[in-house]
Amino acid sequence: EAGVVQSPRYKIIEKKQPVAFWCNPISGHNTLYWYLQNLGQGPELLIRYENEEAVDDSQLPKDRFSAERLKGVDSTLKIQPAELGDSAVYLCASSQNARGRGSIGELFFGEGSRLTVL
């Protein structure tokens, strides 16, 4: 079974430039998460989708960040314009809502997209 796929793995841009990250969750996983991970810290939620609906975006800086999940599968996270403080790793994770077969909706993470803003 394929895992969560993210791209690009690494991105270096200058401040004020736009950047976009893409995530393809595990097939059948209804819930998709975008997390921000700063160096030496744990992941912090940016936005959570249930199918195509953003059900928790309270931590998403909406002045410069946007996200979408068309058709309830793939998702993109965009930053425009990027600031120096946005340098971090952006993690995508997915989980399935259905319980059973030992699942309690645990998160499965992609490898992350490391952003460096110069």
Partner 1 sequence: AQSVTQLGSHVSVSEGALVLLRCNYSSSVPPYLFWYVQYPNQGLQLLLKYTSAATLVKGINGFEAEFKKSETSFHLTKPSAHMSDAAEYFCAVRRGNQFYFGTGTSLTVIP
Give bridge partners of residue 11 from the DSSP assignment. 115
25 part of the interface to partner 1, by CB under 8 A? no
- Work out which of 50, 52, 57, 74 binds partner 1, going by CB under 8 A: 50
Q: Does 43 bind partner 1 (CB under 8 A)?
A: yes
- Cα 77 to chain center, whole Å? 6
Q: Is 104 in the site for partner 1 (CB under 8 A)?
A: yes
What is the rounded CA–CA span in Å between residue 116 and residue 14? 8
Q: Least CB distance from residue 4 to partner 1, whole Å?
A: 7
Residue 8 is a binding residue for partner 1 (CB under 8 A): no
91 binds partner 1 (CB under 8 A): yes
The least distance separating partner 1 from the CB of residue 90, rounded to whole angstroms, comes to: 11
60 binds partner 1 (CB under 8 A): no
Q: How far apart are CA 82 and CA 72, in angstroms?
A: 26
Residue 2 — left, alpha, or beta (φ > 0 → left; ψ -120 to 50 → alpha)? beta
- The tokens for 11 are 């991105």
Cα Rg of the chain (Å, integer) = 14
Binding site for partner 1 (CB under 8 A): 4, 6, 31, 33, 40-45, 48, 50, 55-56, 91, 93, 95, 104-112, 114
